[in-house]
Structure 1
Amino acid sequence: MKTVLILYYSRHGSVAKMAQQLARGVESVPDSVAILRTVPEVSEICEAVADSIPDNGAPYVTLDELKACDALALGSPGRFGNMAAPLKHFLEKTSSLWLSGSLVGKPAGVFTSTSSLHGGQESTLLSMMLPLLHHGMLITGLPYAEADLISTQSGGTPYGPSHVAGSDNSRPLTDEERRLCSALGKRLAQLAHKL
């Protein structure tokens, strides 16, 4: 059994919905399981007083879960062309995994959601790839063999799936966006088995 960790931060729910679609893609591959995890908010309040379990949604990720996964999908809303602070904050605490080489050679992909079509989707995806490259992970995107990359009028990039949520974050995932999320999940599971 190969596990694909789908690790994300979602403020308004769009990235969480994308993560669920990725999980469907992962679990369409025999002997593959998706594990959905999130990260806590970052605030100016001491982390020691924050709840250790979220009120709803996926549980918080642990370093052990990241170390044990066979593949990783990393998702974040775009924040000025970068990943959101809570995800970056978590990644900055993975030095022990970097020192031990725990993630070297594992496949990884990224996904994002922004309010507007030109909200920095591709730069956000690229920003999420950088720490994964430092960990020695094998980055995969979406090939143009995925016909939805050509026909989409909303989100979708070869760097990874994306979603246009709208200024009020109420736009549902389009059919193309859902299929592209599923395609990345399936691709990561297949790569985990091949590697």
Structure 2
Amino acid sequence: MIPSVQEAIKIVVLYHSRHGTTQQLARHIARGVASIPHCQAVLRTVAEIEATPSATPNDPIIDLQELKECHGLAVGSPVWFGNMSAAMKHFWDQTTSLWVAGSLIDKPACVFTSSSSPHGGQETTLQSMTLPLFHHGMLIMGIPYSEPNLHTSFKGGTPYGASSVSKEGHASLDKQVSELAFSQGQRLAKTALALQLSNTTQTS
């Protein structure tokens, strides 16, 4: 049974962005999600813990109920010393109640990032964002090498997740980078939809 509109598959695209590049990646991932029938992208950000504002305009700040109810999740952060940003880490440190309840177990998830230099620590940052997802029991997805852009892009893109190298935060993303983010959103949505259909069949 295909879910009705009222039962749309909701994919949360959660990000923190200081200069706008990670926010742009989030939007391309959301476009990929929305391109899959019956799937809806929910763009959310996390609260700042420092005085410096994030890129504007911001999407709404995530709350735990939205995270609990999602069918899939994409998480993005800029590279901060080879790690996720403090704001993103602070958010995950507040999700113990969902961990205890097992609310995110077996839901698909992916990660994405951006940096101002090609050797800024993209892959370690992507891996750092998977750690809380593993602890929550989520199913981590990357980008397969069947994506042609992964072989040829010099502006970003890794098998661990979409990424971008940009010194101008508000400049348009590289076309190949945008396409990789879009494809990652599609893959996440297709997987979440397939899992939901499987669960529906098993319980019907």
Q: Please name the residue that 1:145 is paired with.
A: 146
SS, match of residue 87 in structure 1: helix
Q: CA deviation at 1:178?
A: 0.2
TM-score when normalising by structure 2: 0.88
Q: Is the 8 A contact 2:108 2:191 kept in 1?
A: yes
Partners of 1:164 and 1:171 within 8 A in 2: no
CA distance in 1, matches of 2:137, 2:190: 19
Alignment of 1:175 onto 2:161: no
Aligned to 1:127: 128
Is this contact kept in 2: 1:107–1:191, CA < 8 A?
Answer: yes
Distance 1:120 1:133 in 2: 20
Q: Which residue of 2 aligns with 1:24?
A: 31
Shift of 1:40: 1.2
Secondary structure of the residue aligned to 2:100 is: helix
Q: Which runs of 5+ in 1 are unaligned?
A: 45-53
Partner SS, residue 194 of structure 1: helix
Given that 1:165 and 1:172 are in contact with CA atoms closer than 8 Å, whether structure 2 keeps it comes out as no
User: CA-to-partner distance for each residue in 1:31-87, whole Å, 9 max, x for gaps?
Assistant: 00000000111138xxxxxxxxx9732000000000000000000000011000000
The residue aligned with 1:72 is 73
SS in 2 for 1:82: coil
- Give the CA deviation at 1:170: 5.0
Match of 2:20 in 1: 13
Q: Deviations over 1:76-125 (max 9, x none)?
A: 00001100000000000000000000000000000000000111000000
Q: Secondary structure at the match of 1:21?
A: helix
* Number of positions where the alignment pairs a residue of Structure 1 with one of Structure 2: 185
* Code of the aligned partner of 1:164: V
Match of 2:199 in 1: none
Alignment correspondent of 1:58 = 59
Give structure 2 stretches of 5+ with no counterpart: 1-7, 196-204
Q: Is 1:159 matched with 2:166? A: no
154-163 vs 35-44, which moves further: 35-44
List 4+ stretches of structure 1 deviating above 2 A: 168-172
Letter in 2 for 1:3: K
> Contact (CA 8 Å) 1:38, 1:58: kept in 2 or not?
yes
Normalising by structure 1, we get a TM-score of 0.92
